[in-house]
Amino acid sequence: MNVPNKNNSLNDLSSILERFKPTGPEPTRGYPDLHDHIMNLARDNLLVVVDEPIDKDSEMHPLVRWQFRGGIPEDQRKAFLFTQPTDATGRKYDAAVLVAGLAASRQVYRTGIGMPLEKIGEAWIHAMANPVAPKVVESAPCHDIVIMGDDLDKPGNGLDGLPVPVSTPGWDNGPYLSAGHFITKDPETGVQNLGNYRGQIKGPRRLGMNPSVEQRPGIYIHWEKCKARGESLPAAVIVGCPPAVSYTAVQKCPEHLDELAIAGALAGSPMNVVKAKTVDLYVPAEAEIVIEGYIRTDMLEPEAPFGESHGYVNLQEYNAFMEVTAITRRRQPILTSFISQVTPSESSCIRRVALEPLMFNHLHNVMGVRGVSRVSMHEPLTSVVALYIIQFKRNTPETEIWRALYGASSFLRYGGKYVIAVDEDIDPENSDALFWAMCYRAQAQYDLKILDKKDPGHGPRAPRDNGESASVLINATLKGDYPPVALPKREYMENARKIWERLDLPKLTPQSPWFGYDLGGWNEDLDAQAQLAVKGQAHLTGMKIAQMRRSDVEMNTALSDVDPLEDK
pTM reported for the whole predicted model: 0.90
Report CA Rg, the chain. Answer: 28
pLDDT for residue 4: 42
pLDDT for residue 7: 45
Would you say 493 and 515 are in contact if contact means Cβ atoms under 8 Å apart?
Answer: yes
Distance CA 144, CA 24 (A): 7
pLDDT for residue 374: 97
Each residue's pLDDT tens digit, 317-365: 999 999 999 999 999 899 999 999 899 999 999 999 999 999 999 999 9
| Amino acid letter, residue 5 | N
Would you say 85 and 95 are in contact if contact means Cβ atoms under 8 Å apart?
Answer: yes
Listed in order, strand segments (DSSP E) in 239-333 are 272-275, 282-284, 289-295, 301-303, 306-307, 313-314, 317-329
Nearest to 451 by CA among 412, 476, 418: 418
Q: Does the pLDDT at position 190 exceed 50?
A: yes
Each residue's pLDDT tens digit, 394-430: 999 999 999 999 999 999 887 899 999 999 999 999 9
Burial of 357 (0-12, 13-18, 19+ CB in 10 A): buried
pLDDT for residue 52: 95
pLDDT for residue 22: 67
Label residue 462 by pLDDT band (50, 70, 90).
low
Distance CA 171, CA 166 (A): 9
pLDDT for residue 3: 43
Rounded to the nearest angstrom, the gap between the alpha carbon of residue 456 and the centroid of all alpha carbons in its chain is 20
Q: Mean pLDDT over all residues of the chain?
A: 91
The SS3 call for residue 35 is: helix
Q: Does the pLDDT at position 391 exceed 50?
A: yes
Would you say 248 and 260 are in contact if contact means Cβ atoms under 8 Å apart?
Answer: yes
Label residue 192 by pLDDT band (50, 70, 90).
very high
pLDDT for residue 532: 94
Give 3-state DSSP helix, strand, coil % of the chain, rounded to 5.
Answer: 30, 25, 45
Distance CA 273, CA 260 (A): 9
Please name every residue paired with 194 in a beta bridge, in sequence order, or none if there are none. 183
Listed in order, strand segments (DSSP E) in 67-122 are 79-86, 96-99
Label residue 164 by pLDDT band (50, 70, 90).
very high
Distance CA 150, CA 354 (A): 42
Q: Looking at the domain that runs over 10-337, which CATH code has it been given?
A: 2.30.110.10
Would you say 363 and 448 are in contact if contact means Cβ atoms under 8 Å apart?
Answer: no
* Degrees to nearest 5, angle at CA 17 with 13 and 22: 155
Distance CA 291, CA 329 (A): 9
pLDDT for residue 484: 94
Give the mean model confidence (pLDDT) for residues 524-552. 93
CA distances, 391 to each of 121, 290, 437 (Å):
17, 43, 12
Q: Does the pLDDT at position 287 exceed 90?
A: yes
Nearest to 411 by CA among 471, 467, 370: 471
Label residue 108 by pLDDT band (50, 70, 90).
very high
Label residue 565 by pLDDT band (50, 70, 90).
low
Each residue's pLDDT tens digit, 501-529: 999 999 999 988 999 999 999 999 999 99
Q: Looking at the domain that runs over 367-475, which CATH code has it been given?
A: 3.40.1670.10
Instruction: Answer whether the bond into residue 456 is a cis peptide, omega within 30°.
Output: no
Distance CA 531, CA 93 (A): 72
Residue percentage of the chain with pLDDT more than 90: 80
| Amino acid letter, residue 87 | D
Each residue's pLDDT tens digit, 3-34: 444 445 667 777 777 777 766 678 999 999 99
Bridge-based pairing of strands 387-392 and 418-423 is parallel
pLDDT for residue 6: 42
Domain boundaries in the chain? 10-337, 367-475, 523-568
Question: Would you tell me how many other CB atoms lie within 10 Å of the CB of residue 418?
Answer: 17
Q: What one-character DSSP code corresponds to residue 489? A: B
Q: Does the pLDDT at position 213 exceed 60?
A: no
Would you say 27 and 137 are in contact if contact means Cβ atoms under 8 Å apart?
Answer: yes
Give the mean model confidence (pLDDT) for residues 148-176. 96
Which of 19-23, 272-276, 435-439, 552-556 shows the lowest mean pLDDT across its residues? 19-23
